[in-house]
Amino acid sequence: MPISELRAIEIFTKAIELGSIRRAAAAQGISPQAASQALAALEKRLGVRLLHRTTKSIALTSEGQQFLEASQPALAALERAVDRIRTAKDEIAGPLRIVAPKYSFLPLLWPLVNEFCRRYPEVQPDIKLDDRIGNWVQDRADVGFRIGMAPEDGLVARRLFAMQLIVCAAPAYLAAHGAPASIEQLAAHRCSVFRHPGTGRVLPWLLKVGSEVISHHLSPTLSTNDAQLETEAVLSGQVIGLLSGLSAAPLIRSGQLVPLLAEHAADHMNVHIYYGSRAAQPSRVRAFIDLAVERLAGSSAYVLDAGELAMAEAKGRKKTRRR
């Protein structure tokens, strides 16, 4: 049904309620002439006369009475639906669809979702973790996270923090195999590589050399398409790995991992949060975005500065030499 017809039906029912087309026009915020024209167009479309009109009064025709009785329940139901949607928009409750990369993201995402659900227990998170770049519309997402480039046009994106790539080993590995002193010496060590989940392609290590980021290819001892498994392999002392700061930073700070070749840690990629226009968002979506920005924007929880990396590397190498 065209919106003009719906508006004309509202004018019709309001005119009967108030007893005047003029009063109905005022209630709808339009001119009496516009109201009369809308009613005439409606009658023409229906092929019947709905109202008897005089300069002072209006009265329903027989067809008008039938139409009023049929249309009032439908208009009342529509009004209730509109009111429900407006109320729901302001409630922090209901489904919240989140999309995020699977790669190393769970340690960051779950504490955020957990805190949000504790604040707003009526929210129902629907979380999709996928390293492939999906389609915002098809995913029906309310809010998303992305590593690397900002998302496509038409979305609002905000940078949260840099995502580092850090060469790491467990103290047990260093005790058994020693530590590489240069990028070239990595060839003599047991290294893991990451296999892209979408393409299956083995990815090179991205290392910073001066102001540039280079791709360094290795013959792997272990390859996997799961970041958590790779982290576990490094923690076990089986391999050296290039891990994201999302996984590595807390483990380095706790002493479970030692950063190696710290001067070559790359930080050229960023973590973004992205979403549609804030103007049309339900309150639950706005509240989640606000919490994510509050907790993560500029956060150092998953980022180690150059001084902290160098100190952790020196400390880890020193402990290994003592053994």
Average the pLDDT over 4-24 and give the result: 82
pLDDT at 11: 84
Taking domain 95-323, whether its CATH number is 3.30.70.270 is answered by no
Residues 136-157 have pLDDT tens digits of 555 678 999 988 776 666 788 8
pLDDT at 180 exceeding the cut of 60: yes
- CB count within 10 Å of CB 213 equals 15
More confident residue, 320 or 21: 21
Distance CA 67, CA 87 (A): 30
pLDDT at 60: 84
**Residue 92 · residue 62 · CB < 8 Å:** no
Give the domain ranges of the chain. 3-90, 95-323
Average the pLDDT over 173-190 and give the result: 95
- CB count within 10 Å of CB 193 equals 20
- Indicate the residue type of 69: E
Average the pLDDT over 192-220 and give the result: 92
Average the pLDDT over 296-323 and give the result: 86
Give the global pTM.
0.69
Nearest partner of 152 among 130, 164, 137, 131, judged by Cα: 137
Q: Residue 220: phi, psi to the nearest 5?
A: -80, 145
pLDDT at 231 exceeding the cut of 60: yes
Give me the chain's average pLDDT, please.
Answer: 86
Distance CA 15, CA 2 (A): 20
Average the pLDDT over 268-283 and give the result: 83
pLDDT at 158 exceeding the cut of 70: yes
Architecture of domain 3-90: Orthogonal Bundle (1.10)
More confident residue, 305 or 15: 305
More confident residue, 149 or 295: 295
Average the pLDDT over 290-306 and give the result: 93
pLDDT band per the 50, 70, 90 thresholds, residue 75: confident
pLDDT band per the 50, 70, 90 thresholds, residue 88: low
Nearest partner of 98 among 271, 247, 283, 274, judged by Cα: 274
Q: What percent of the chain has pLDDT over 70?
A: 89
pLDDT band per the 50, 70, 90 thresholds, residue 49: confident
Rounded (10°) angle between helices 32-46 and 3-18: 110
Q: Which two tokens stand for residue 216?
A: 């360094």
- Indicate the residue type of 279: A
The H helix count followed by the E strand count for the chain is: 11, 13
Nearest partner of 21 among 67, 52, 63, 45, judged by Cα: 52
Average the pLDDT over 117-127 and give the result: 94
